[in-house]
Structure 1
Amino acid sequence: MVDVLAPVGSILLRVRALDKDVQPYNSEVYYSMQKQSLVALNETTGHLMLKAPLPSRYSNLTFTVMAHDGGSPRRQGRAKVTLIVKIISGTPPTNHPHPHIALTPTLTQATQLGTHKSSTGSRTPLNVTIEKTGHEWAMLCWSPPRSGQPLGYLIFVNSTASTNGSSTLPPVTETVVFNVSLVHLVLKNGRLCKALENLTSNNDYEVVVIGRNLKEIGLPSTPVPFNTKVNVTCRSVVNGEFICSCLPGFYGEDCSLYNPCDSEKNPCSNGGVCSSDVSHSFSCKCREGYHGITCQAYDPCAHSPCQNNAHCINISNSSYQCLCEAGYTGIKHF
């Protein structure tokens, strides 16, 4: 593929022919082609170079490249080369029954395009950024390509997660494809934005954006990594705006401080009262009979079950033994 706005002098591709002749002077290969107005061929390296600006009317360029060696008799071969010119036109065919409905590629085609490596060019969406992330949400924004007018965009969200928390198993990679038309995108400060919802919390992601219209799919943007390892929850509101707040228990300007007592689950058990004066720490005031950092243990001797001044010994959380004074006998258990 070649970008319609590729600058003159760009190397489009390289053709190669191999000669198995053991003599160096016989195995040298030379290349040639019929004279072209747009493409030039280096006869020794096989590099095809753009020598004039590409007209937008071309969807592809097809020509034949020939190769021959330096031996006698001369051996030669030829190959047909087709360069696909990537051009997005914003005007759908007039005979299309639904001019605002875009073609949907198969998942296989979308995945292949999403993993295609490309430098920033005239037809790739520009300045792709993640403006804000929540623990299951992200706001994605980008600028349209410099060439063409896409009718919509394909958004590829690749996620990588460990398998059941195991460090020995390889991570699992999944790809979700969003096919969105322009009417479902929000324009903010001259950029297009889309909220990515229903993400997985505490996960690593990579996003790629590709323009598309009724006839073709454009070139992918540079992949942008992001993650949902944040203590923030966000939700979309009107006109691309969003509201974010700290997850339960977290506080502070960036939600980095944590009060365990305000989390969804009280760390103090058995009716203990939780208090926190320092971030990420807490203490429990236990009910009578309970003790431990989280009031998890019970002392059956706390209620003085032994009579006549006998000494109570705690055997377990549910049983005790009485050491009687002189003249008294008996062992009492719960």
Structure 2
Amino acid sequence: MTNDKTRIILALTCASFVPQIKHVWQTKDSRGISTAYLLFNLLCITKHVFFHSLDIAYLWDGSRYLSAPVSVSPLDWVNLAQVLGVWVLSNVFFALCLYYSPPTRPHRHRLRTLLILALYSFFLLFTLVPLIVDLTTDVFCPPNHPHDCLLPERGPVPFLRGIHCYFLLPITTVILPVLGFYKQAQRQRRQRQQGQRRRQQQQQQETREQTVVIPPSHSPTPTTPTDLNRRLARSRLFQAAIFAVSAILWIFRLPPGQQVRPDEPPPPDAPLLPRPWLLVFLHWWVFMGYMAVDEAIFAVGQGLLGYLSLRTATAAEGRSEGEEEAERRLLLGAAEERSTYESEC
């Protein structure tokens, strides 16, 4: 894959976050966005930054010290830039949604916000914080080589990477994001039901008032909690398309440090046994394919959320037009009856 195409994907991926950030910033309201959806996707992206930064550090370290040096290619830097860009913009969106979240119950709202920030900070303590300390200091160097040691000689960070790869990878990159999308879909469904109940109550109240004033045909629509999800519907679909393309292209643009190294050749007399396809897939996913899988999950999730929001908006527009027409006919009938009664009197 050429660097020009990679830069285009980098620009489009970062640009797909701008409409969502802009809407929350302008409306000063993140009602309708699930905090679990924000947090779980942010944890997944943070793990991407941890893995890619460590891979680049290993390549850079190997180019300085190994007898057969390897170099960090421009594609490696572009890949890292995309991961960092997505992480930074996700943090901005996460912070804005937390800050502008309307506190229905102030005490409970503060506790929930503190819990979310504590969970995210705890995750950073086992990913990016030790990595930054390891790359900027010699704290983790062994006693026999206390200064300027190789990265593989530093025990804590490789140990943490092994824990993340073999134990936490399916949880933070598959289970939690899927659960986050489920929680967001639940939130949108609950708000849709609340909006329907509010419209029914408003209709009943207007019917009881027996008003005879005919409202204008283009009356302003009141702001509802589902407005944000409706506004984000098309931007989510756009983001889903971009991440779907990026997920496919990640297969062809993985850095050399993540390519699967061939095993040592077997002895001449040893039979070559076929490896089970499940083990081959798991090996590919753990060491190089997690980016493609995770971005595919994100694309599917964002696409479903955008589709649900558009379907809800279309149904609401159809209902509102029908309700306005029925209300207009009712008011016209009441006005005619009153004029007839006054003329008879």
Shorter-normalised TM range: under 0.3
**TM-score, normalization by structure 1:** 0.24
Q: Which has the higher helix share?
A: 2
* Structure with the bigger percentage of strand: 1
TM-score for the superposition, normalised by structure 2: 0.24
The structure that has the greater radius of gyration is 1
Larger RCO: Structure 1 or Structure 2 (Cα < 8 Å, ≥ 6 residues apart)? 2
